[in-house]
Amino acid sequence: MTEEFEVTPYKVSGEVDYDELVDRFGTKKIDDDLIDRLARHGPLHIMLRRGIFYSHRDLDWVLDQYDKGVGFTLYTGRGPSGPVHIGHTMPWLFTKYLQDTFKASLWFQLTDDEKFMFYDHLSLEETKRWGYENALDIIALGFDPDLTNIFLDTEYIKTMYPTAVKAAKRINFSTIRAVFGFDNSNNIGSIFFTSIQTVPCFLESMQRESNVPCLIPCGIDQDPHFRVTRDIAEGLGFLKPALVHAKLMPSLAGSEKMSTSTKGEDTVFMTDDEATTKRKIMNAFTGGRVSVEEQRREGGNPEICAVYQYCLYYFEPDDAKLAELHASCQSGSILCGECKSRLFDKVWKFLENHQVAREKAKDRIEEFFVRD
């Protein structure tokens, strides 16, 4: 029997059953037909192959529109409450794949207002500063500057506010209570916020003064925002945004969603140095046994192992090697230390390259940012 779990943009708790979540949210699984269809546009992304991006709303329709020559725009975002970690970058790397494959424009929202209103300990000045810090990580991933618009809510509000207000008029507090689990103790900014979150779905259409389909790659925890958006989009004269949903990357402690609210030891930040990265990975939660002897005899459990999950999500792109790793773990022929060390090499190579690109990004902010 499945343990109780809860998933909203503001709370993930319990052991998430991703298949059940598809039923609960009323989304669709990405099926083999859709996978085949995506594969015809270019090499299939690892996160599609591995079922990390596994759920969608109207992704088939977006591909129809693309095939008809209408094209589509992409929208994703980041709540700038602290440094970016590896888990954050997973949907962004997937977004880059979509941009590269479909030559799609991208609206990248930094919700400095949201993070300020939801976190007691952060000032608006701090979330804005984190927005610019986080933008360096976004730019470093290699998005096309000609196709990418990064913006902070507080710096793009004049453009967004009229549409946000039109959205807000169509959403009552009953809906917010039901969708986000809010109550009377929520502040009125947090209650209003989903109407700001709605607008980037329509920014390309607003700019072109003509409706453009929008596809949102995001963690499935963000889906509730866009269920609200989809309910009101047509009433506002826009197309319903489509979504493609990822499972949430586990932390190094093995929990459902990497979080920056721990002291940071469960999470590899994009700016961590080599020693820090090594320490964190070497301390990761694994599916190993209490002793070497027992592990050699009984084998480990890759399914609950954070190190294996990291490989699965991104860090072992070779499917054959991943399968081998899985088997070796189960048979007891590989021990956790070796696996961790192997993962560290891959993660550190990724971070090292990223950190070089991130330095260069400091001179490239203006190539990407849009402001009122």
Nearest to 264 by CA among 252, 275, 256: 252
Q: Report how far residue 87's alpha carbon sits from residue 347's, in angstroms, rounded to the nearest whole number.
A: 12
Instruction: Among 26, 146, 174, 290, indicate the residue that binds a copy of itself (CB under 8 A).
Output: 174
Instruction: Give 343's Cβ-side CA count (13 Å radius).
Output: 29
Least distance (Å) between residue 131 CB and a copy of itself = 13
Q: Which of residues 191-210 bind a copy of itself (CB under 8 A)?
A: 191-192, 194-195
Residue 320 CB neighbours (<10 A): 8
Q: Which residues contact 50 (CB under 8 A, 6 or more apart)?
A: 312, 313
Determine the Cα–Cα distance for residues 152 and 130; give it in Å rounded to an integer: 10
Assess 232 for contact with a copy of itself (CB under 8 A): no
Give the x-and-dash track for 343-372 against a copy of itself (CB under 8 A): -----------------------------x
Interface residue with a copy of itself, options 186, 251, 260, 295 (CB under 8 A): 186
Counting contacts by CB under 8 A, is residue 166 touching a copy of itself? yes
CB of 177 to a copy of itself, least distance (A): 7
The minimum distance between CB 140 and a copy of itself, in angstroms, equals 28
Give the CA distances from residue 91 to residues 157, 201, 221, 228, 324, in Å, rounded to whole numbers and listed in that order.
25, 17, 12, 21, 26
Tokens of 166: 């039109």
Stretch of residues binding a copy of itself (CB under 8 A), selected from 40-48, 72-80, 176-184, 280-288: 176-184
Q: How far is the CB of 12 from a copy of itself (least distance, A)?
A: 23
- Tell me phi and psi for residue 353, to 5 degrees: -60, -40
Taking the complex as a whole, the smallest distance from the CB of residue 369 to a copy of itself amounts, in Å, to 15
Nearer to a copy of itself, 94 or 369 (CB): 369
Q: Which residues contact 201 (CB under 8 A, 6 or more apart)?
A: 75, 214, 216, 226, 229, 233, 238, 241
Give the SS3 label for residue 7: strand
Residue-wise DSSP of 310-339: HIIIII---HHHHHHHHHHHHHTSS-HHHH
Kindly state the DSSP code that residue 141 receives in the 8-state scheme: T
For the CB of residue 366, give the shortest distance to a copy of itself in the complex, in Å: 19
Does residue 170 touch a copy of itself according to CB under 8 A? Answer: yes
Residues pairing with 132 in the sheet: none
Of positions 35, 39, 70, 165, contacts a copy of itself by CB under 8 A: 165
Q: Which is nearer to a copy of itself, 215 or 228 (CB)?
A: 228
- Which one of the spans 92-100, 139-147, 174-182, 323-331 is the region binding a copy of itself (CB under 8 A)? 174-182
> Whole-angstrom distance between the N-terminal and C-terminal Cα of the chain?
51
Q: Which stretch binds a copy of itself (CB under 8 A): 13-21, 164-172, 268-276, 356-364?
A: 164-172
Q: How far is the CB of 151 from a copy of itself (least distance, A)?
A: 12
Three-state DSSP at 14 gives coil
Q: Residue 38's closest CA among 18, 66, 57?
A: 66
Phi/psi at 75 (5° precision): -140, 125
Question: Residues 176, 233, 307, 322: which binds a copy of itself (CB under 8 A)?
Answer: 176
- CA 341 to chain CA centroid, Å, is 26
Using rule CB under 8 A, residue 8 touches a copy of itself: no
- 260 lies in the site for a copy of itself, by CB under 8 A: no
Q: Which is nearer to a copy of itself, 176 or 258 (CB)?
A: 176
Is residue 263 a contact point for a copy of itself (CB under 8 A)?
no
Positions 76 through 135 that interact with a copy of itself (CB under 8 A): 113, 116-117, 124
Which residue's structure tokens are 């976004």? 138
Residue 365, CA distances (Å) to 17, 144, 156, 157, 353 in order: 39, 12, 15, 19, 19
If binding is defined by CB under 8 A, does position 184 make contact with a copy of itself? yes
Question: Among residues 188, 275, 290, 320, which is the contact residue for a copy of itself, using CB under 8 A?
Answer: 188
Enumerate binding residues for a copy of itself (CB under 8 A): 113, 116-117, 124, 154-155, 157-158, 161-162, 165-166, 168-174, 176-177, 182-192, 194-195, 372
